[in-house]
Amino acid sequence: MHATFILCGGFILYFLFYKLYGSYLQKRIVGREDQPPPAIRLQDNIDFVPTNKYVLFGHHFASIAGAAPIVGPVIALIWGWLPALLWIWIGNVFMGATHDYLSLMASVRYDGHSIQWIAGKVIKKRTGYFFAWFILFVLILLVAAFGAILGKIFVAKPQVPSTYFLQIVAALILGVLLYRLRTHFWLATLMGIGMLIGAIILGMYFPISAGYKTWMLVFFFYIIVAASLPVHVLLQPRDYLNAWLLVAGLILGGLAVLFSFKKITLFAFTSFNVPLIAHRPTPFWPVIPLIIACGSLSGFHALVGSGTTSKQLSKEIEGLFIGYGSMLTEGFLSTLVVAVVSAYGLNVLAPDIAIDLKTNAFTFAQHYGKAINSAGGPVGFFSKAYGLAVHSVLGLPKEFVTILAAMWVASFAMTTLDTTNRLARYTLTEICEPLKESLPFVFQFITNRWTASLIPAAIGIGLAWTGAWSIIWPAFGGANQMLASIALMTVSAWVIRVQKKSGWVCLIPALFLWITVTLAIGWYLFVAVPVFMTKNPAQAYTLGIIILIMLFLDFLLIYDFFKPTRPELPNV
C-alpha cells in the first residue's frame, strides 16, 4: 500500500459523502426554515453577528480542530494504520459529521441556545441541568489543560508567542478591514494572508522569552478579553487567518503525499490489545473513541456548533458547508496524518529504534510509545515526518516546514483555549437562568460578559498555574466522548420528537456510541484507575469519583431519553 492511495481514497470518500449523505441530512432531516437565523433576528454585534460563510467556516474549524486531529491518530497507530484509518473514516462520516451538523442546526432553530439547553427541552429538564454543570466542569478543565500545554510550548519555543501576538495584530486589522472599512472580501483576505506570512517570518526573528507563570498571567487576562469582546473584533478574524494556515499546510502536505508514491512502512495491524493506557493491554474497541477524538468524533464540537457558530450563521443553508464540511475537513487532516506518519515516520527515528519497530507487529506495539516520546511526542513525531515528506517531494527546507507544522498545533491550541472560555461564559449564563426572576441583581452581575468570562478563566488558569489539572486530566477523554454521546442522543430526540422525521441516521450512531463510551469508561475505571492507585492514590480516588459521576449521568441520560417528560416538548 502507498500513502498516495490512502490520501486519494480519503479525498474521494469525503467528497462523495458531503455531496450525497450531507445533502440527504440537509434536505430530509433538517429541512428548510423560512424564518431568518438567530444571527439576523437577534443581531447584537457582540455574540450574534451575521458572518460570511468562509469566515465562519474558518472560525468554526479553527475552534474545533485544536491539536487532537494530529495527536489522536499518531497514538492510535499502535494498533496499526488500518484500524486507525477505518475508525477515522467511519466515525467521521457516520457519527462525527452528523453530530456536528445536527447540533449546529438544532441550536439555530432554538435561537442559538446550547446543546445542553436543548437537551433540557427535548429530553427532560433535569437532563439539561445536569448536562450543563458537567459541561462547565469540562470546559474549565479544557482551559486549564490548554493553558498549561501552551505555556510549556511558549517557554520552549520563544518564536511561537511572538508569531502569535503578531497574528493577533493582523486579526484586529483584518476585522477592521472586513467590518469597518467594508473592504472587498477577497482583497481583505489577501491582505490578511500577507500579514499572516509576515507574522510567521517576523516571529522567527524576534522571539519572546518568558517564564511559565508569566505566560499564565498573560493567558488569564487575554482569554477574559477575548471571550468578552464582540466576536468579530478578534476571535472570528483570528480563526479565519488560522484556517488559512491550516489550508496551506494541507495543500503542502497533500501535494507531497500525492506525488510521493511512498510505500507504507508501518504495520497494517498489530494486535487487538496493545500496551497503551496505564501500560495495560488496551482493547481497540471500545477504547478507540477515547484515543481518536477530533478526527473522528468529539463532544466538544457540539459545544462550539451550538455555542458560538449558531449565533453567526447568516443563512440556514450554509450550515451544511460549515458544520458538516468542517468535520469532514478535520477527518481529511487526520487521514493525512496517518498517511504521512505511516510512510515517513520510521525515517525520522534513531536507527536502533526504527530497527526495533520493523522486527514484527508484537515488538512494534511494545516499543511504539517509546518511539513517539523519542521524537518529541505525537506532535513532534508528526512534525518531523511531515517536514521530511514536504522536503523530499517539494524540496522546501526541512527545518522551516517542521517549525511550520509545530506552529499549526500551537495556533489551533490557542484558538481552542480562548473559544473554550467564551463557551464557558455562555454555559454559566444559561445555568444562572433560574435566578433571572428570583434574584435579578445576582443574575445580572454573574452573567455580565466580563464577570462570566472571569470566573472560568480564574479557575481554569488557577488549575494550570498549580498543575492540579494534570490529576484529573486522564478523565477528559471519557468525559469528552460522553458529551458526544449525550449530544447525539439530544439531536436524535430533536429529529424524532420535534422535526417528526425518521431518526435512524442519528439514533443508531447515538446508541452505538453510548454503548461504546459506557464500556470504555467502565474499562478505564476497573483496569486503568487501579494502576494509578499504586502510584498516586489521591489521583486514583479523584479519577474514580469523577468516573462514577460520569457513569451516573450516562445512565440518567439513557433513562430520561426513553422516559421523556412529554409536556416539555417545544413547538418549533
Which range among 71-85, 243-257, 474-488 has the greatest average pLDDT?
71-85
Residue 319 has pLDDT above 90, yes or no: yes
- In the predicted model, what is the mean pLDDT of residues 263-272? 94
Neighbours of 548 (CB within 10 A): 12
Residue 418 has pLDDT above 50, yes or no: yes
Neighbours of 560 (CB within 10 A): 21
What is the biggest distance separating any 2 CA atoms in the chain, rounded to whole angstroms? 69
pTM more than 0.85: yes
Q: At residue 398, what is the residue type?
A: K
- DSSP labels, 321-390: IIIIHHHHHHHHHHHHHHHHHHHHGGGGS-HHHHHHHHH-HHHHHHHHHHHHHHTTHHHHHHHHHHHHHH
Phi, psi angles (nearest 5°) of residue 209? -105, 135
Quote the cell numbers at residue 203.
Answer: 516571529
Would you place residue 566 in the very low, low, confident or very high pLDDT band (cuts 50, 70, 90)? Answer: low
451 contacts: CB under 8 Å, gap ≥ 6: 445
Residue 569 has pLDDT above 60, yes or no: no
Residue 572 has pLDDT above 60, yes or no: no
Distance (Å, whole) CA 187 – CA 220: 34
Which range among 426-440, 458-472, 516-530 has the greatest average pLDDT?
516-530
Q: What is the pLDDT of residues 532-553, one digit of tens each?
A: 888 888 888 988 998 998 899 8
Query: Are 482 and 553 a contacting pair, CB within 8 Å?
Result: yes
Query: Are 7 and 336 a contacting pair, CB within 8 Å?
Result: yes
DSSP state of 468: T
Neighbours of 490 (CB within 10 A): 32
Query: Are 273 and 281 a contacting pair, CB within 8 Å?
Result: yes
- In the predicted model, what is the mean pLDDT of residues 46-61? 94
Q: What is the pLDDT of residues 445-484, one digit of tens each?
A: 999 999 999 999 999 999 899 888 877 778 888 889 999 9
Lowest mean pLDDT among 96-100, 126-130, 448-452, 515-519: 126-130
In the chain, the percentage of residues whose pLDDT exceeds 70 is 98
Q: Which residue has the higher pLDDT, 323 or 146?
A: 323
Domains assigned to the chain:
3-460 (1.10.4160)
What mean pLDDT is reported for the chain? 90
Distance (Å, whole) CA 440 – CA 239: 35
Distance (Å, whole) CA 111 – CA 459: 29
- In the predicted model, what is the mean pLDDT of residues 49-69? 89
User: How far out from the chain centre does Cα 402 lie?
Assistant: 22
Residue 571 has pLDDT above 50, yes or no: no
Question: What sign does the CA torsion over 12, 322, 231, 451 have?
Answer: negative
Which range among 131-140, 201-210, 217-226, 245-254 has the greatest average pLDDT?
217-226
Would you place residue 272 in the very low, low, confident or very high pLDDT band (cuts 50, 70, 90)? Answer: very high
**Which three-class secondary structure state does DSSP give residue 2?**
strand
Phi-psi region of 80 (alpha: psi -120 to 50; beta: other; left: phi over 0): left
Would you place residue 45 in the very low, low, confident or very high pLDDT band (cuts 50, 70, 90)? Answer: very high
Residue 298 has pLDDT above 60, yes or no: yes
Query: Are 143 and 417 a contacting pair, CB within 8 Å?
Result: yes
pLDDT at 27: 92
In the chain, the percentage of residues whose pLDDT exceeds 90 is 58
**What residues are paired with 313 via a beta bridge?**
51
